Every structure is written in structure tokens, then in C-alpha cells.
Structure 1
Amino acid sequence: MRKKAVNSLERLQAVLEVFTEDRLEWTPEELMEELGYSRPTLYRYLKILKDSGFLTSMPNTGFTLGPRVVEMDYLLRKSDNLILSGAPYLQKLTGRYECTALLVRWYGEKILCVDSISSSREAISSYPRGRPMPLSRGAIGRSIVAFLPRRNLVPLINRTLDDWQAAGAGDTVEAVLDGLKSVRKKGYAVAHGEVTPGVVGFAAPIFDAGQSPIASFSVTIAQDQVGGSAVEEIGREVLFAAGEITAALASHRHRISSR
């Protein structure tokens, strides 16, 4: 059973949070057991969420996420300046290389793809749009984590040290920090087959206000296409794209604040 939510909004939100890739459908009985809500409370929340379109159900079936989620996703694509600013660079990199280019958003302690384009014959990514990615494995996670302020980075690694150890990134917090120094020095991260076998990942951080990254620009490309000086060439292009997106976000923020 999950930790008890404090107020009505948190309790309502908790109903939505039980839906995951591993568990896409829930019956009311299962929700009551998972969340610890009384039947009247749960049914009140289910009615609110169903009436607003966040949940849906058919007779004699469980509840699944509803069409309002799709509608909000459409609005996100139309309004998110990260997606709007990054689109030209997704096009540019996939036009230049046979690869998959991704924009990956950082929120809370999660990272997930919010937009991507692929020019490869087979999409070279194990994490399509909307699917959370591992923080400790692969170039994308490191490209974000390496640039977090130390006051935020050290507690994060402490909380997730088991994951970093499993990824072979170090057995101690200091060892993980040492490994991230090279990413900070280069400005981008490179990973060989850590998430998808046979694939090289490149990623660089995108910043908004302040010094903390909010996202990452990434390219994944087949190992056999990355030879000689190509690693540094692609790394520089990814770093340049991330910098241009950062500048575009800053310009938009300035225009808004000047109104």
C-alpha cells in the first residue's frame, strides 16, 4: 500500500500515479487495496477523474487513462518551448546522420523523451517518447546529472547509489562524482551500448534560468557508423545544438519578461 496522501488534491493525484507501464489497468477493488481509500472516497475520485476525461472504463472492466491525457499531450506539443526550440535541431541531426535524435526533459528525479525524430532504418532507441529513462545508465542521464549543483547532486547520488553501482559507474558517491567530471569538462556525454546494445549515445545538457539543466539533447547512432573522428564530431554537434536551444529558451524568456 502506498504512503497515505495528505490532502484531497494529493489523494486525487495519487489515483493517477498508480498507472505505469507495468500496470495500465486497475479495478476499483485493486485501487482501494493499493491506495488505502474507503469505497465512497475512491468512487468520488474516480467519478471526478472519469467526468474530466483523465480516466475511462468500459462495463465490467477496470479503469485506464482517458482521452484528456491525449488532449493535454497535444497542447504540450503546441506550447512547450523546449519542443518548439529543439525541433529544427532534431531535423538537422537526423538529416545529417542515420540516427535517432531526442529531446529529453528532466523533472523531479525522472528523465523522459518529450520529442524525437529517427532517420535510421530501425529506430535506435529503447526509450520512445513518454517512457521514463534510467538516470544512471547512458549518456542522457549523465549529461544532466553531471551539471547539477553539488548540493543537489550528492544527495541524489546517495539516494540512487545502488543504481549507479549496478550501471558500473562507481561503488561510492565519490567514485560516481569522479566519473562525471569528464562529462562536465567536455560539455557532453558519450555512452557505448549502455542502454541499447550496438548503439552509441551522445547527449548534452540544455539550460533554462539559472545553472541547473532542465533537459538534454541527444543522438543515438549505430556503433558501426561511428569510427575515427566521428565521435568527437557528433559530440560537438550535439553540444552546439544544446547550446542553441538553451539560447532560444533564454531569448523567449527575455521576450516574455519584457512585455
Structure 2
Amino acid sequence: MPRTHATVEAAVRVLELFDADRTEWTLSELAQHLNQPTSTVHEQLQTLSASGLLVRVGRGRYRLGWRLLKLSSALYGSLPWYAPAHDAMERLARGTHLLAFLCVLHGDQVLCVARSVQGRDGPPVAGELDFELPAHATASGKLLLALAGYPLPQPSQTFTDFTLGTSAAWDTETRSIRKQNHALSRDEWALGTSGLAVPLRGEGGAVLAALGLSLPTARMTASESLLRALHGAAAEVGWTLGFRGEG
């Protein structure tokens, strides 16, 4: 692997360790977690700090730097669908009192790029802080993979007894998703957590993202009304983006 490529990958691995659960790391903690020499990690931290992607705080700890806000603002600004989709997601959360989210497909990875910050009540659900979601065990993942025509991911981890694990079951599921234009998961990632998702489409019917809800399985008795709310919110976003049902 070329040195430049390896250097960039190493920097990305360091940045990905910072999340809502772990906002600070020390040099020794990072070196131990990455199983790399302290001198190597120190060089990476120096470079990332100099670029503003990390910042050193008290007692030799590091946090994400403010420069990342500029990059994230530029990213979201380059996506015409993001602002109306985000607004729809927040309205959906307030109207249902559930955790609403937006997910996108990146290669064969399903990434949760936004979650509602208000309106939700009730017990916690699985994956509230996860960025990458299991594609075959979540409603948004199954939806995006099915509409893209992807096969069952391999290897496909089994999380519960309800996780889809065979190609035959996957084919049946994806046909249903394409026909109904929505996906659901029930106890497939974690017992007690279920989900619903519908596609957000742009002009020409292109699938831009998944708009979904994560909820305690006990509340799936209201799935029909929740799906109506999801489809209605997605239709509003699609109309704003020029989708007229031709996709």
C-alpha cells in the first residue's frame, strides 16, 4: 500500500474512534486501542491537531477539532435533499414521539447521517448512537439494499433468532420491500427494538436516503399509522425535490 494511502487510512481510523460515547482520548489510550507504537500514534495526533481536525485539551487529552464543523457544513450544503429531509425527520419525531433518522447507502454500508433530537419519549432502543448500521438487520438497511438490488451481505452476522440469514429469505424480503415501498425490522438487531423505513426520492425517482423510525417492538401494533406518517413525510420531501411519482 502506498505510504500516502496508508497515512490517510491511519488518520481516518483515529478520527473514527471519537463519538458521542467517547469524546476524548489520550495518546496512550489510542496507542493501546489501535495496537500501534506510541510514537506512531503521536505523529498522527500531531498532524491531525495541526490541521484543526483534533484539538489537545487538558492533561494530554484530545477532542475533535472545530474544523470538522466546516467540513460537515460543506457536505450538507452540497446535498440539496438534506435540509428538507432533516426538517421532515424532526416533524416526524415530534408527531410520533419516536426516534426518527436519515440513512444513506455508501457502497454496501448503511450510514445513519442524522437522528432527531427532540420529540422522543419512551424506553431506549438499540443503535441510538451508532453511525454504521447492520444492513441486513435494520429497516433502513434492508430498504436501501433492496432498492439498490444488492444481495444479502456476506458474511451476515446473526444478532438474534429473527435476523435474516439465508439468501432465500433475503430474496423474499427484498421482493416484498420493492413491492410495498417500505421496510420493517422486528427484533432483528436487538430484542425489543424494531424499525420502519421508507425511501426519500428525488427527481426521476432516484433513491437518495431512507427516512425511518426506531421504536420498541411493543409499539409495532401501530405500524400501519406510523407507515402512513412516514410515507406522507417522504412524499412531501419528494415533491420539494421534484419527484412526481415517475420513478
Aligned pairs for 1:1-259 (under 5 A) are 5-18=1-14, 19-20=16-17, 25=25, 27=27, 31=31, 34=34, 45-58=44-57, 61=60, 63-76=62-75, 80-108=79-107, 109-122=109-122, 124-128=124-128, 131-149=131-149, 153-154=150-151, 157-161=152-156, 163=157, 168-195=162-189, 197-208=191-202, 213-227=207-221, 230-250=222-242
In structure 1, what is the Cα distance between the partners aligned to 2:233 and 2:33? 47
In structure 1, what is the Cα distance between the partners aligned to 2:105 and 2:159? 21
Offset at 1:53? 1.1
Structure 1 vs Structure 2 CA RMSD: 3.8
Offset at 1:50? 0.9
TM-score, structure 2 length as denominator? Answer: 0.73
TM-score, structure 1 length as denominator? Answer: 0.70
SS state at 1:233 partner: helix
In structure 1, what is the Cα distance between the partners aligned to 2:95 and 2:143? 22
In structure 2, what is the Cα distance between the partners aligned to 1:50 and 1:128? 29
Offset at 1:54? 0.8
Residue 67 to residue 123, structure 1, CA distance change in 2 (3 Å): farther
In structure 2, what is the Cα distance between the partners aligned to 1:128 and 1:165? 16
Q: Percent identity at matched positions?
A: 19
Amino acid at match of 1:15: A
Residue 97 to residue 166, structure 1, CA distance change in 2 (3 Å): closer
Contact 2:185 2:196 in 1 (8 A): yes
Amino acid at match of 2:86: A
In structure 2, what is the Cα distance between the partners aligned to 1:30 and 1:95? 39
Contact 1:100 1:221 in 2 (8 A): yes
Residue 42 to residue 196, structure 1, CA distance change in 2 (3 Å): closer
Amino acid at match of 2:228: R
Offset at 1:210? 7.2
Q: Deviations over 1:129-159 (max 9, x none)?
A: 663222221212112111113xxx13xx252
| Greater Cα offset, 49-58 or 15-24 | 15-24
In structure 2, what is the Cα distance between the partners aligned to 1:98 and 1:17? 35
| Greater Cα offset, 59-68 or 174-183 | 59-68
Offset at 1:213? 3.5
Contact 2:211 2:230 in 1 (8 A): yes
Offset at 1:16? 2.5
SS state at 1:141 partner: helix
**Deviation above 6 Å: which 4+ runs of structure 1?**
35-38, 209-212
Unaligned runs of 5+ in 1: 252-259
Offset at 1:76? 4.7
Offset at 1:197? 4.6
In structure 1, what is the Cα distance between the partners aligned to 2:84 and 2:240? 6
SS state at 1:112 partner: strand
Question: How many residue pairs were aligned?
Answer: 238
Unaligned runs of 5+ in 2: none
In structure 2, what is the Cα distance between the partners aligned to 1:116 and 1:83? 13
Amino acid at match of 2:236: E
